[in-house]
């Protein structure tokens, strides 16, 4: 028998009571919220009062294990369509979507009189131009609070970020110039992360811990490594650094505020066929740690900040299955990483997953799990003052003692032939090979005709490197490589970032962290012995065979200045150039006007979802779930989520398409879902460019544990 349902009417009294009930509920919720905020504010103000009371009362010094700590995170993704990616130096590898969003994470530590800032950003590297622009913004906002000497900016070295933030010709060529929208997004993201950390400053404590992670990196140039002295190699168990170091930040109640970690692995799990912005394996480690700590928050949101940073990752690959000839399955040639058939292009390293997405997750998950273990067991507490020391150095003209009678010197920048060979993580073009110490008359002839030959002085200085590009002698339209570089150390108690501090007793057992891709990008720094082999890393050591010795000499000077309290006496050094924007070229064309396919408008769905999906490992799904009790849609995933992938598919004559994927996790709740895509399209009307937003919404569909019941 069919049941008839009728809607009931409410009289005026009932309506009044309902309205009154809703008003009282809203007021109660508001009061509770205000009270909670007030209590939290009072707690924080009490903490800050205690801190500043220590500072004001000269008879009472701050406890040596108490710091003022701030953490912050902000989006720095930028444009994600048709712009060059930075990492593999392939101008054809342009961005066409989002795998994961990119973030800048900032950590501020203040000892009561001095403070230092460490930023780790999901970008290829920090360029000199990017650093200078960020410091300009910080100067305008904070005066002299955040400066060259106390701010360190590090890039994770993901090869799946957007380029366009350099001011030297070589880097502008490989990323199609200086792209204002790209660098603006990174600058604003870094500055915003510092703003958030600055606003969130509160008293807290810092712990450090370290351990070994043996299954997540592989030396991609073992032949070079074996040329190091045997007595040095005997000091280490492995031929690449397996140590992971973490810093644990807590408030005075012991509640976690953040984590900062360093591990030596290249974020190249996403290979050179990838066309989506991705934070790669280090980004996944941050994502996993933050998702566990920030329960109930979407990715990129929540108070806990976990930064996984680059370290001494130069020859350290995540492709732990090693290189093989993809066309035959044979092992690659040990000396030059090439194959009998197909040469170096067929020699590629893989692993550990079935594809680059799974490999990214697996390596990132290894780091995240090890960091979680170290975070939970961290007991060594940092105490003591913080310091920052910085100098500008002309790295083309440094003299270093080799022994009691001989000296060496650095060179004007130059790249060797093996630079063009690439690595087993991504091979170069043409017939260039790793390990080349002879050069090639054919390519040298082309170089001489187009760019001019290297000088005899530069050739001799870089020997045994056969010079492909003498970039230090190339200045059109701007210098091709930097000459002035940063050297910088920050210390937090007994933790030294980049330096060896052995001068003062308090630094006798210092934990030293090499933070990679910081402040300026100058390719690689090999040992003198590895330089002789001239694989990719040696050929990319642009200041010559004594580069490492020159850096060590400079860092030793900074370390002594910190230990002896003579930082203010350090010479500032020659400042680098800051070229006017009108001198920086841009090869990226403005996008053409967008055109909708025939019989459609922007926002139309071209291919609908299926009506029902079963939860499996891989399939397409939406990002919003319907709640019957509130009659509303809840966002469960964004483009920052690991499970989602946004593809921008460039079509002809402005007819592009977008595709959204969600790879449903086994933990997905059953229910009704939908896809929503937000975008903009450009039109030219009356010689004016008009950009209009649009929204595409799929039909509602169900996600269920079984096709037989939902």
pLDDT tens, position by position, 553-562: 999 999 999 9
**Residue 38 exposed, middle or buried by CB count within 10 Å (0-12, 13-18, 19+):** exposed
Shared domain check, 661 and 540 = no
Phi, psi of 401 (to 5 degrees): -75, 130
Shared domain check, 663 and 543 = no
Shared domain check, 306 and 403 = yes
Tally of residues, the chain:
710
- How many degrees, rounded to 5, is the angle at CA 121 between CA 323 and CA 480? 75
Shared domain check, 555 and 422 = yes
Q: What is the mean pLDDT of residues 64-88?
A: 92
pLDDT at 58 over 80: no
Q: Which residue has the higher pLDDT, 27 or 416?
A: 416
What is the structure's pLDDT at 495? 92
What is the structure's pLDDT at 694? 83
Shared domain check, 229 and 352 = yes
Structural domains in the chain (count): 2
Cα–Cα distance for residue pair 663/619, rounded to 1 Å: 5
Instruction: Among 583, 601, 620, identify where a domain stops.
Output: 583
What is the structure's pLDDT at 616? 43
Residue 324 DSSP code: E
In Å, how far are 134, 141, 574 from 146, measured between CA atoms?
10, 9, 20
Cα–Cα distance for residue pair 467/461, rounded to 1 Å: 11
What is the structure's pLDDT at 533? 98
**Within-domain flag for 508:** yes
**Residue 651 exposed, middle or buried by CB count within 10 Å (0-12, 13-18, 19+):** exposed
What is the structure's pLDDT at 269? 98
What is the structure's pLDDT at 183? 97
Shared domain check, 352 and 216 = yes
What is the structure's pLDDT at 328? 94
**Residue 708 exposed, middle or buried by CB count within 10 Å (0-12, 13-18, 19+):** exposed
DSSP states of 573-586: -PPPP---GGGS-B
**Within-domain flag for 52:** no
Per-residue pLDDT band for 22 (boundaries 50, 70, 90) equals very low
pLDDT at 72 over 70: yes
Picking from 48-57, 334-343, 652-661, which range would have the lowest pLDDT averaged per residue? 48-57
User: What count of Cα atoms within 13 Å lies in the side-chain half-sphere of residue 673?
Assistant: 26
CATH number, domain at 654? 2.60.40.2300
What is the structure's pLDDT at 166? 98
Per-residue pLDDT band for 652 (boundaries 50, 70, 90) equals confident
pLDDT at 10 over 50: no
What is the structure's pLDDT at 132? 98
Shared domain check, 661 and 515 = no
The greatest distance separating any two alpha carbons of the chain, rounded to the nearest whole angstrom, comes to 107
Q: Which domain holds residue 132?
A: 67-583
Q: What is the mean pLDDT of residues 643-659?
A: 86
What is the structure's pLDDT at 527? 97
**Which tokens sit at 132?**
């200078």
Per-residue pLDDT band for 623 (boundaries 50, 70, 90) equals confident
């906002």: which residue's tokens? 141
pLDDT at 708 over 80: no
Per-residue pLDDT band for 19 (boundaries 50, 70, 90) equals very low
Residue 254 DSSP code: S
Label residues 121-153 b or e (16+ Cβ within 10 Å = b).
bbbbbbbbbbbbbbbebbeeeeeeebebbbbbb
Q: What SS3 class is residue 538? A: helix
Q: What percentage of the chain carries pLDDT values higher than 90? A: 74
706 is catalytic: no
**Within-domain flag for 21:** no
Cβ-based neighbours of 454, under 8 Å, separated by 6 or more: 414, 467, 470, 473
The tens digit of pLDDT for each residue in 272-305 reads: 999 999 999 999 999 999 999 999 999 999 999 9
Per-residue pLDDT band for 54 (boundaries 50, 70, 90) equals very low
Helical ranges in 57-178 per DSSP H: 128-142, 169-174
**Within-domain flag for 26:** no
* pTM (predicted TM-score): 0.86
Compute the CA torsion angle 650, 267, 427, 223 (nearest 10 deg). Answer: 180
Q: Which residue has the higher pLDDT, 675 or 572?
A: 572
Shared domain check, 561 and 697 = no
Instruction: Among 583, 598, 626, identify where a domain stops.
Output: 583
**Within-domain flag for 590:** no
What is the structure's pLDDT at 683? 86
Q: What is the mean pLDDT of residues 472-477?
A: 97
**Within-domain flag for 30:** no
Instruction: Provide Rg for the chain, Cα atoms.
Output: 28
Cα–Cα distance for residue pair 707/494, rounded to 1 Å: 59
Cis peptide before 98 (omega within 30 of 0): no
What is the structure's pLDDT at 509? 67
What is the structure's pLDDT at 621? 44
CA-wise closest residue to 265 among 278, 251, 281, 279: 281
Helical ranges in 62-201 per DSSP H: 128-142, 169-174, 180-199
Cis peptide before 636 (omega within 30 of 0): no
pLDDT at 96 over 80: yes
pLDDT at 115 over 90: yes
CB atoms within 10 A of CB 619: 14
Q: Which residue has the higher pLDDT, 258 or 48?
A: 258
The tens digit of pLDDT for each residue in 364-400 reads: 999 999 999 999 999 999 999 999 999 999 999 999 9
pLDDT at 48 over 70: no
The annotation status of 157 as a binding-site residue, yes or no, is yes
Among 154, 311, 317, 494, which one carries the catalytic annotation? 317
CA-wise closest residue to 260 among 408, 379, 469, 118: 118
What is the structure's pLDDT at 590? 75
Per-residue pLDDT band for 450 (boundaries 50, 70, 90) equals very high
Shared domain check, 540 and 409 = yes
Phi, psi of 87 (to 5 degrees): 155, -55
Shared domain check, 639 and 558 = no
The annotation status of 551 as a binding-site residue, yes or no, is no
Shared domain check, 455 and 393 = yes
**Within-domain flag for 62:** no
Per-residue pLDDT band for 610 (boundaries 50, 70, 90) equals confident
The tens digit of pLDDT for each residue in 566-585 reads: 999 999 999 999 999 999 99
pLDDT at 614 over 70: no
Instruction: Among 583, 599, 625, identify where a domain stops.
Output: 583
Shared domain check, 360 and 277 = yes
User: 230 and 139 in contact (C-beta within 8 Å)?
Assistant: no
Per-residue pLDDT band for 599 (boundaries 50, 70, 90) equals confident
Q: What is the mean pLDDT of residues 115-142?
A: 98
CB atoms within 10 A of CB 690: 11
Cα–Cα distance for residue pair 334/220, rounded to 1 Å: 10
CA-wise closest residue to 316 among 550, 537, 93, 88: 537
Picking from 21-30, 357-366, 634-643, which range would have the lowest pLDDT averaged per residue? 21-30
Q: Which residue has the higher pLDDT, 60 or 135?
A: 135
Mean pLDDT across the chain: 88
Cα–Cα distance for residue pair 164/588, rounded to 1 Å: 10
**Within-domain flag for 49:** no
């Amino acid at each position: 028998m069919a049941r008839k349902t009728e809607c009931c009417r409410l009289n005026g009294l009932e309506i009044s009571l309902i309205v009154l009930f809703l008003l009282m509920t809203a007021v109660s919720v508001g009061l509770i919220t205000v009270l909670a905020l007030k209590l939290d504010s009072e707690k924080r103000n009490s903490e800050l009062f205690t801190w500043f009371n220590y500072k004001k009362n000269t008879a009472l010094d701050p406890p040596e294990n108490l710091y003022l700590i701030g953490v912050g995170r902000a989006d720095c993704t930028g444009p994600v369509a048709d712009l060059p990616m930075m990492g593999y130096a392939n101008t054809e590898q342009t961005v066409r979507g989002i795998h994961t969003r990119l973030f800048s994470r900032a950590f501020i530590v203040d000892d009561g009189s001095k403070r230092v800032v460490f930023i780790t950003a999901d970008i290829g590297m920090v360029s000199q131009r990017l650093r200078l622009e960020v410091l300009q913004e910080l100067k305008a906002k904070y005066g002299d609070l955040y400066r060259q000497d106390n701010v360190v900016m590090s890039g994770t070295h993901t090869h799946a970020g957007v380029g366009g933030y350099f001011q030297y010709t070589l880097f502008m060529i490989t990323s199609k110039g200086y792209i204002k929208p790209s660098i603006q997004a990174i600058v604003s993201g870094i500055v915003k992360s510092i703003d958030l950390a600055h606003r969130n400053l509160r008293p807290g404590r810092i712990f450090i811990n370290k351990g070994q992670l043996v299954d997540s990196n592989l030396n991609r140039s073992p032949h070079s490594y074996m040329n190091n002295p045997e007595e040095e190699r005997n000091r280490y168990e492995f031929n690449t650094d397996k140590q992971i170091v973490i810093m644990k930040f807590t408030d005075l109640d012991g509640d976690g505020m953040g984590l900062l970690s360093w591990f030596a692995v290249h974020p190249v799990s996403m290979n050179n066929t990838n066309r989506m912005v991705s934070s790669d394996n280090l980004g996944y480690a941050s994502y996993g740690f933050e998702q566990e700590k920030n329960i109930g928050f979407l990715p990129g949101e929540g108070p806990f900040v976990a930064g996984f940073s680059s370290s001494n990752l130069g020859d350290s690959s995540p492709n732990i299955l090693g290189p093989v000839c993809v066309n035959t399955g044979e092992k690659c040639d040990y000396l030059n990483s090439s194959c009998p058939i197909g040469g170096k292009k067929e020699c590629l390293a893989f692993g550990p997953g079935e594809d680059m997405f799974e490999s990214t997750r697996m390596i990132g998950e290894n780091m995240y799990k090890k960091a979680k273990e170290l975070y939970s067991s961290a007991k060594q507490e940092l105490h003591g003052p913080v310091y920052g020391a910085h100098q500008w150095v002309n790295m083309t003209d440094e003299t270093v003692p080799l022994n009691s009678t001989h000296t060496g010197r650095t060179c004007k920048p130059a790249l060797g032939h093996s630079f063009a060979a690439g690595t087993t993580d991504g091979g170069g073009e043409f017939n260039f090979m790793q390990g080349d110490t002879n050069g090639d008359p054919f390519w040298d002839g082309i170089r001489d005709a187009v760019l001019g030959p290297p000088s005899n002085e530069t050739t001799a200085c870089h020997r045994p490197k056969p010079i492909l590009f003498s970039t230090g002698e190339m200045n059109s339209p701007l210098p091709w490589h930097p000459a002035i570089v940063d050297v910088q150390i920050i210390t937090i108690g007994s933790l030294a970032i980049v330096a060896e501090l052995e001068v003062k007793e308090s630094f006798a057992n210092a934990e030293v962290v090499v933070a990679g891709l910081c402040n300026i990008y100058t390719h690689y720094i090999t040992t003198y012995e590895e330089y002789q082999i001239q694989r990719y890393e040696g050929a990319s050591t642009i200041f010559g065979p004594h580069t490492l010795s020159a850096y060590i000499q400079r860092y030793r000077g900074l370390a002594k200045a910190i230990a002896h309290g003579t930082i203010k006496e350090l010479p500032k050094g020659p400042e680098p150039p800051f070229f006017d924007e009108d001198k920086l070229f841009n090869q990226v064309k403005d996008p053409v006007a967008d055109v909708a396919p025939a019989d459609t408008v922007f926002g139309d769905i071209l291919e609908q979802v299926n009506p029902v999906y079963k939860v499996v490992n891989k399939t397409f799904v939406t990002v919003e779930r319907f709640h019957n009790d509130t009659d509303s849609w809840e966002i469960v995933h964004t483009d920052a989520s690991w499970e989602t992938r946004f593809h921008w598919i460039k079509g002809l004559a402005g007819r592009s398409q977008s595709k959204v994927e969600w790879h449903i996790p086994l933990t997905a709740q059953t229910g009704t879902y939908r896809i929503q895509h937000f975008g903009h399209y450009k039109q030219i009307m009356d010689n004016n460019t008009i950009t209009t937003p649009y929204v595409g919404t799929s039909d509602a569909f169900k996600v269920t544990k079984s096709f037989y019941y939902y």
